[in-house]
């Protein structure tokens, strides 16, 4: 599991979007003031730019260096590398739990999976990186539904607040979500995968 010491310090360097907790108006104003101040040349080189983008992807999805490197290597020779990498990242079961609104953050989703609360097609999994496929049903197991982790989830309506992607069909009242398609990379996700490939191609 990726250990994060200071989300706010990291988000100031990589951008607010890497953590849900830093996507607030207060943090945005603080970030805007910081950007207005003159800075040195840190991150100005090609390497610095590539490193920052690689770290943005890592922290956004909560990945270890090894996990991200493996995903990049798998995607690098695909016809559309960025789309292939995006699909690998999005189809992880922890990300599906998060995207479906069954957890408030990816980190929470990862812990929910690790602790055995999640089923894929009725089979329990404790591996956050396990890949889902089209027609898979991801659900919270019956014995976990009374846990405080999921209490009042329908009232919080996490799925509606965040917006469930069109490749998932979620029923928050039943605590499940079906993978009905595949995530498409549009280039508007705020992550520049091409720069990440540049980093690993050095």
Q: Which CATH number fits domain 92-179: 3.30.210.10, 3.30.70.890, 2.30.33.40, 3.10.290.10?
A: 3.10.290.10
Q: Over the stretch 62-117, which tens digit does the pLDDT of each residue have?
A: 999 999 999 999 999 999 999 999 999 999 999 999 999 999 889 999 999 999 99
What gap in Å lies between CA 94 and CA 111, rounded to an integer? 8
CA distance 126 to 178: 19
- Taking only Cα atoms into account, the Rg of the chain, rounded to an integer number of angstroms, comes to 18
Task: Provide the residue count of the chain.
Answer: 202
Question: In degrees rounded to 5, what are phi and psi of residue 138?
Answer: -105, 125
The whole-angstrom separation of Cα 96 and Cα 112 is 12
pLDDT of residue 202: 84
* pLDDT given for residue 23 in this prediction: 53
Model pLDDT, residue 189: 80
Q: How far apart are CA 122 and CA 96, in angstroms?
A: 15
Cite the residue boundaries of each domain of the chain with CATH code 3.10.290.10.
92-179
Answer for the pair 121, 136: CB distance below 8 angstroms, yes or no.
yes
Confidence (pLDDT) at 22: 54
DSSP state of 95: H
Q: How far is CA 90 from CA 9, 13, 127, 167, 200, in A?
A: 25, 24, 15, 10, 20
**Averaged confidence pLDDT in the chain:** 84
Q: What is the pTM of this model?
A: 0.78
C-alpha distances (whole Å) from 58 to each of 45, 108, 127, 151 are 20, 16, 18, 30
Structure tokens at 40: 């040195």
Q: Burial, 109: exposed, middle or buried (Cβ in 10 Å; 0-12, 13-18, 19+)?
A: buried
In the chain (202 residues long), the average pLDDT of successive 10-residue segments reads 56 59 52 51 76 94 96 96 97 96 92 97 98 98 89 62 86 93 89 95 88
pLDDT at 173: 85
């Amino acid at each position: 599991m990726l250990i994060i010491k200071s989300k706010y310090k990291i988000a100031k360097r990589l951008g607010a979007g890497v953590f849900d907790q830093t996507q607030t108006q207060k943090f945005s104003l603080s970030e805007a003031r910081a950007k207005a101040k003159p800075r040195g040349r840190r991150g100005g080189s090609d390497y610095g730019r590539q490193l920052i983008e690689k770290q943005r992807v890592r922290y956004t999805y909560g990945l270890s260096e090894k996990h991200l490197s493996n995903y990049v290597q798998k995607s690098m020779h695909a016809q559309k590398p960025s789309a292939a990498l995006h699909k690998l990242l999005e189809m992880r079961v922890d990300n599906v739990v998060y995207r479906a609104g069954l957890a408030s953050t990816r980190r929470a989703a990862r812990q929910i999976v690790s602790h055995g609360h999640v089923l894929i097609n009725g089979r329990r999994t404790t591996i956050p990186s396990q890949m889902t496929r089209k027609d898979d049903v991801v659900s919270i197991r019956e014995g976990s539904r009374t846990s405080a982790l999921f209490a009042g989830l329908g009232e919080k309506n996490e799925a509606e607040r965040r917006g469930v992607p069109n490749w998932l069909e979620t029923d928050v009242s039943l605590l499940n979500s079906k993978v009905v398609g595949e995530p498409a990379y549009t280039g508007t996700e705020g992550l520049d995968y091409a720069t990440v490939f540049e980093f690993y191609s050095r």
